[in-house]
Amino acid sequence: MAKFSRRQFIITAGATAAGTLFMHGCSSPSDSASSGSDAASPAPVASADAPEVTKATLGFIALTDSAPLIIAKEKGFFEKYGMPDVEVVKQASWGTTRDNIVLGSAGGGIDGAHILSPMPYLITEGIVTDGKKVPMYVLARLNTNGQAISVANAHKDLGVQMDSSTLRSKIDAAKSAGNQMKFAVTFPGGTHDLWMRYWLAAGGINPDSDVSTIVVPPPQMVANMKTGTMDAFCVGEPWNAQLINQNIGYSALTTGQLWKDHPEKAFALRADWVDQHPKAAMALLKAVLEAQVWCEENKEEMVEIVSKRAWFGVPAADIQDRTSGKYDFGDGRVEEGVPYVMKFWNDNASYPYKSHDLWFVTEDMRWGYFPADTDAQALVDKVNREDLWREAAKAIGQEAAIPASTSRGVETFFDGVTFDPENPQAYLDSLKIKKI
């Protein structure tokens, strides 16, 4: 086992009420083991690999891409690798996730989480924690694709899709009346914030001056759209599909159309927890990777499990279609077998490419979350532990899934802009709308 080495904006207003209060997902592995014959069978863990502890507390938010953590618990994968006492704990918002990571389980919080991929970097540098730096490690990517930008039915007449500039007339009218249109995201500097900003800016709309960007927790998006709190939002599933099923709005686009097979959530842990419990961290990672493989192969059963009250508490129908590749956009467009379906394991979805994290840090520099002089590559090298992912993949018999490089190469976005991880500055220079 490789030796583990210690590597080393403003707080979201109103995004979280009480950071130390959270609800527990309370299903046990036995609850769902009977629903399939492929549940993990706990096996003795070799003494040399036995975890230092049998418990860890992991956070999740009710989003489809949290499924690997839920399945690792429900199907007994944590137990299989010697950690039967892992708790998978529901968080009210990404602000709550942040606050509980800062606390750590020793302080009544959590050790790690299903998390927006940029958040471990923002937390590590103290950007979203009032300057308190809490080093974190990204151990895996949990999924690619699977988010969407949805618009209220009040704007259906504009036919907004990929081109955000079609909103310009209403944006200008609202500004003239002293009431900026509101676009909701889930956390400042997080993935949904970056997808929304990229989409708006690509259409010539400045997300900082032309509109008002507000923060709303994922499970509250649909209710807030219903009451007219916002004009559009970017969030993960199942909330976009639920919006359409309730006939409140429609999806202009899914984020996989912005950037095919884009990275989304991550599995990340506090660095000090990993450094103090290297074998336990490896056990968690192996369980999560095995769960990702299971999710890819058993999506229908996965939907039934995560939809339960203990986890998401939503109708399975709100999750099923988009998970299986059928997209009803809610404006007459219905597509099946889409290439931008959420992936958990296929096409290297689980591997945490350093080039992807470099884009997240660079994009957060674009919008002023990180200082312009941030050494993005050094920060990625400190936080991204793809070396542990490789070790875990080998351990579970998935050596063939290990990419040849830590970079996926040049990425191309829907508007033709490219990001070359070998030259992030050229990318920044090419962008017309930015804070930097």
Identity of residue 401:
A
Q: Is the dihedral of CA 119, 242, 144, 255 positive or negative?
A: negative
Q: What is the pLDDT of residues 371-411, one digit of tens each?
A: 999 999 999 999 999 999 999 999 999 999 999 999 999 99
| Six-digit token string for 159 | 């036919």
Q: What is the pLDDT of residues 208-247, one digit of tens each?
A: 999 999 999 999 999 999 999 999 999 999 999 999 999 9
According to DSSP, the β-strands at 136-141 and 265-270 are antiparallel
Higher pLDDT, 13 or 101: 101
Q: Is the dihedral of CA 123, 126, 128, 129 positive or negative?
A: positive
**Cβ burial, residue 373 (10 Å; 0-12/13-18/19+):** exposed
Q: 75 CB contacts (<8 Å, ≥6 apart)?
A: 29, 32, 33, 38, 39, 40, 291, 294
Question: In sequence order, what are the beta bridge partners of 197?
Answer: none
CA distance 421 to 120: 20
Largest CA distance in the chain: 69
pLDDT-derived band of residue 142, with 50, 70 and 90 as boundaries?
very high
Q: What is the pLDDT of residues 221-231, one digit of tens each?
A: 999 999 999 99
| Six-digit token string for 215 | 């923060």
Q: Is the Cβ–Cβ distance between 430 and 417 less than 8 Å?
A: yes
Could you write out the DSSP letters of every residue in 50-90? Answer: --S-S--EEEE-SSGGGHHHHHHHHTTHHHHTT-TT-EEEE
Question: In sequence order, what are the beta bridge partners of 412?
Answer: 418
DSSP conformational letter for 328: E
pTM exceeds cut of 0.75: yes
- If DSSP codes are grouped into helix, strand and coil, which group holds residue 263? strand
Q: Is the Cβ–Cβ distance between 194 and 188 less than 8 Å?
A: no
pLDDT of residue 26: 37
pLDDT of residue 282: 98
Asked, as a colleague might, if the bond just before 403 is cis with ω within 30 of 0, I would say no
**What are the helix (H) ranges across 269-423?**
271-276, 278-297, 299-306, 317-324, 354-366, 376-383, 386-395
CB-facing half-sphere around the CA of 321: CA atoms within 13 A: 17
Q: Which H/E stretch holds residue 412?
A: strand 411-412
Q: What is the pLDDT of residues 282-323, one digit of tens each?
A: 999 999 999 999 999 999 999 999 999 999 999 999 999 999
Q: Which H/E stretch holds residue 112?
A: strand 112-116
**Cβ burial, residue 328 (10 Å; 0-12/13-18/19+):** middle
Higher pLDDT, 194 or 32: 194
